[in-house]
Amino acid sequence: MKKKILLTLAYDGTHYAGFQVQPDAPTVQAAVQDAIEQIYLCRPDVTGCSRTDAGVHARDYKLMFVTDDTMPKIPAERIPAALNTVLPRDIAVLFAEEVPMCFHVRHDVYEKEYEYIVWNSAVRDPFSADRAYLFRRPLDADALNAAGEAFVGTHGFRGFVAAGAVIAATVRTVRSVSVRREGKRVIFAIAADGFLYNMVRIFVGTMLAVAEGKIPAESLPDVIASRDRSRAGMTVPACGLYLNRVEFRRDAFDSDRKENTDCECR
C-alpha cells in the first residue's frame, strides 16, 4: 500500500544552490533525497512546496514523498529522528505526518509568507553575514509598515519579476505586509497566495528605496500599476530571505476529496 508522507523542514540555505536538484551543485532537495535513500534503501521522488533560490533559508518548508510496501515501515512520528541522524547539520526535519494520497504540497497551498531580515546598523554583524542584509542608513520601520499597505490586494506584479524571466501570469494576491523592528533587525514580512521569481527581494529593495527617498511612498501604487521593472527598487541579496510559513487550504487533508485538476493523486 502506498503512503504519502509530508515533511516540515527548516534549513540554512547558505551553502546550497537552492532547493531544486541541479547538476554539479549541492541542493536541499538532493540532500533530503540522500537522507531518505539511506533510511528507506531506495530513492523516491520528492516534491517541495517552493523553489527557493541559492542562499535562501526556510523555517517552515513542506516536502512530500511516497512510500510503498517494498520500503521499510517507519511510523511517521519516528521519521524526523531517523532522517535527522543522516541529514547535514544545516537541514532538519521538524515534523512528519501521513497525508491523503490526493494531497499535493504545491497545488493545495493557500498562502505562503516570506520574511526578509535587514541588519540595520553602521557596523556589520559577523553572525548575520549570511543570514541578513546589511543596510547602514537609518530605517523608520513604522513609516515603512504604513507604506507597505500599497502592496496589499490583487495586482499584476510584472514590475517585480527578475529581468529576463519568462512568466505568463503575473497576477498575485498579497494578503498582508508588515515591517517591524527587533533591535538592529528590521524584518519585512509579506504573505500572498503565490510569489513570482525574485518578487519578495524586489519588494524589499523597493521599500529600501522608499526609505532612501529614491521612491516616494505615495507613488508606490503607481509603481505597481506601471508593471515597469525599472521603476521598482533593486533586487536585494538572497541572504536575508526566509520562507517563514506555509498554509494549506481547508480541504487539503480530506481523504475523501475527489480527484480534480487541483488535486493530483499520485
Question: Residue 31: pLDDT band by 50, 70, 90 thresholds?
Answer: very high
All three cell numbers of 93, joined, read 526535519
d(CA 207, CA 60): 25
pTM: 0.93
Q: Is 53 a catalytic residue?
A: yes
Spot the catalytic one: 12, 53, 60, 108. Answer: 53
Q: What are the pLDDT digits (tens) for 214-235?
A: 999 999 999 999 999 999 999 9
Contacts of 38 (CB under 8 A, 6+ apart): 86
Provide the 10 A C-beta neighbour count for residue 89. 7
Q: What are the pLDDT digits (tens) for 175-207?
A: 999 999 999 999 999 999 999 999 999 999 999
